[in-house]
Amino acid sequence: MPKKRPYEKKAFESTGEPADVSANLYLSMLTSPAWRELTARQQILYLYCKAQYYAEKKKPVKDNPLSFSMNQAKWREQYGLYKVNDEKSFYRDMSELILKGFVSCLMSGANTRQKSIYAFSIKWQKYGTPDFEILPSEMTAAMLKKFIKK
Per residue in 42-98, pLDDT tens?
999 999 899 888 887 777 787 888 898 887 777 777 777 888 788 888 889 999 999
pLDDT of the residue at 138: 93
Give the number of other CB atoms < 10 A from CB of residue 89. 16
Residue 150 pLDDT greater than 70, yes or no: no
Spatial separation of the C-alpha atoms in residues 28 and 32, rounded to whole Å: 6
Whether 109 maps to a domain, the answer reads yes
* Phi, psi angles (nearest 5°) of residue 137: -70, -10
Q: What is the number of structural domains in the chain?
A: 1
Whether 127 maps to a domain, the answer reads yes
pLDDT of the residue at 51: 86
Give the number of other CB atoms < 10 A from CB of residue 95. 18
Q: Coil, helix or strand for 71? A: coil
Per-residue model confidence as pLDDT tens digits over 100-146: 999 999 988 766 777 889 999 999 999 999 999 999 999 988 888 77
Range of the domain at 123: 27-149
Whether 9 maps to a domain, the answer reads no
Whether 35 maps to a domain, the answer reads yes
Whether 56 maps to a domain, the answer reads yes
- Kindly provide the residue ranges of all beta strands, DSSP E only, lying in the chain, ordered along the sequence: 67-70, 103-107, 116-120
